[in-house]
Amino acid sequence: MDTILVIGAGGQIGTVLVQALQQKFGLNRVVASDLKTPQVFSGIFETLDATKAEAITALVRRYEVTQIYHLAAILSASGEANPIRTWELNMQTVLNVLEVARVEKVSKVFIPSSIAVFGPSANPVNTPQQSFLDPTTVYGISKVAAENWMQYYYTKYNLDVRSIRYPGVISYQSMPGGGTTDYAVDIYHKAVQGQDYECFLSEDTRLPMIYMDDAIRATLELMEADADQITVRNSYNLAGLSFTPAEVAAAIQHFFPTFQTTYKPDFRQQIANSWPQSIDDSAARRDWGWKPAYDLTRMTEDMIHHLDHQYHADLTQV
């Protein structure tokens, strides 16, 4: 029976992924870990500094871990404030996970990548799986390096490591952690609380996004696929939907007609300008049957429904 170790379980994706894995494998078959212990948590939690390989090894041996999901990283916008620290943490943790998995014979490893691997040289529309990667952030640089290391460990050691290039992830379950696409989460929180929103990107900045439910389902579907189905061993392109701040603001106005958005681009605009507008994920669709379930309308309805319960907003007037 599989036992799963999730590193970076307290992050935006990790908090939701842990719950999905617990539902699939059982509460006592998932070991969640992060630097800080959560105030409320159901299941097994271990404090872990993933920059220490010996600490990862200890958990793998103690719980007889068969799969590792490594989600810990400093993200794009936060990473630009301290690029050397971002490189050191992002790369050391990836190398530790890969090497521990090799030595301890872990059966499967998941290490996410990001659309941040793309830069100005990539075709911005339907960016293909095989593109020249010239990222403009240290986060993107670290993800390109991680993709190459994943390919190396698969080719040299036959380590079954799998990856997805996540677009911007939108969720009601947790707040984002310092990414350039954070506006697409913040804007819903402000709207449901009855506040207007000042966006740090221009109104016509189109970026690839994905709803959390789709992101988690894609992750599990990739990890469940037979190994001989997997043809991409650096990282799969993944598409959900693409929209601009103006378009998501308009979708929110169907529920909150008086909601207003202003635009004040900051340093994150330059990062966004270097990223794709849409993604070609035909390899994922072909290899393991990926297909997104959420469009902008359905996502907006679901976000507002769940945030309504969180904030006890009064939607009766709409």
Cβ proximity of 131 and 41 under 8 Å: no
Query: Is 139 a known active-site residue?
Result: yes
CB burial of residue 46 (10 Å; 0-12, 13-18, 19+): middle
Alpha-helical regions (H) of the chain: 12-25, 53-63, 76-79, 83-103, 138-157, 183-192, 212-224, 245-253, 268-273, 282-288, 296-311
Point out the catalytic residue in the list 63, 69, 139, 153.
139
Backbone angles phi, psi at 294, to 5 degrees: -110, 130
The span from the CA of 209 to the CA of 144, in Å, is 20
**Residue 13 identity:** I
Q: Which two tokens stand for residue 265?
A: 């681009």
Cβ proximity of 213 and 173 under 8 Å: no
Helix, strand and coil in the chain, % to nearest 5: 45, 15, 40
Helix (H, G, I), strand (E, B) or coil at 269: helix
- Burial letters 205-226, b for 16+ CB under 10 A, else e: bbbbbbbbbbbbbbbeebbebe
The span from the CA of 19 to the CA of 10, in Å, is 11
The span from the CA of 265 to the CA of 203, in Å, is 9
Q: Which residues are catalytic?
A: 139
